[in-house]
Amino acid sequence: MTSTFKLNFTNAIPVVVQPMPDLTANTQENFEYKIPFTNYRDPANQNISISTNINTLAANAPLRPWLRFNPVTWSLYGVPSADSSGDYTITLTISDPFGGKTTNSFKLSVNARPTYHPVNLRIPSQIKTSQGRYVIDCSQYFKDEVGDVLRYSIRQANGLTVSSWVQLDQ
């Protein structure tokens, strides 16, 4: 006697346990983010893997040249180039060995790092001997490469705050 039966196997797709937060990086500075292994799981406890892409103007574009992804450690890392400021949508594809897939997208904002404008290598020492207001215009020493307004703070060389008679106008 021969019996025939049909076995249907349904693969459960991986699940997003904790969505990725939006991330921020600065141009010309090291960036690294390790995706927690607990962010995603497979309902059948199968091994899962992650792949990435970054969406800019072209759909499904590869990661930017400066941004790398290590699929073993689940780490995004790199040094954004000076011309890479902007917002990017990164899509992670989480896969199991049987073709089950889910995605999780997040925003990576790359800020243009203010650059030092080398008019002078440092703000020179200032000596004021008469009463009255004395102004140092810091804009001649620093600039932002995309034209954003810079905010300044003032401290003594040893890191302590300056005397109360010294004021910084923003």
Where in the sequence of the chain do the CATH 2.60.40.10 domains occur?
15-111
Angle in degrees, CA 30, 34, 37, rounded to 5: 175
Q: Which residues contact 52 (CB under 8 A, 6 or more apart)?
A: 63, 69, 76, 90, 91, 92, 93
Q: For residue 84, which phi and psi values (nearest 5 degrees)? A: -105, 20
For residue 43 the two structure tokens come to: 């309902």
Using CA atoms, how far apart are residues 39 and 141, in angstroms rounded to an integer?
45
CATH number of 15-111: 2.60.40.10
pLDDT tens string, the chain, 170 residues long: the values are 777 877 777 888 999 999 999 999 998 889 999 999 999 999 989 999 998 876 544 444 556 788 888 999 999 999 998 888 888 888 899 999 999 999 999 999 998 876 554 444 566 677 777 777 777 777 676 766 666 677 777 777 777 888 877 777 76
For residue 109 the two structure tokens come to: 């904002």
User: β-pairing, 31-34 with 75-78?
Assistant: antiparallel
pTM of the model: 0.61
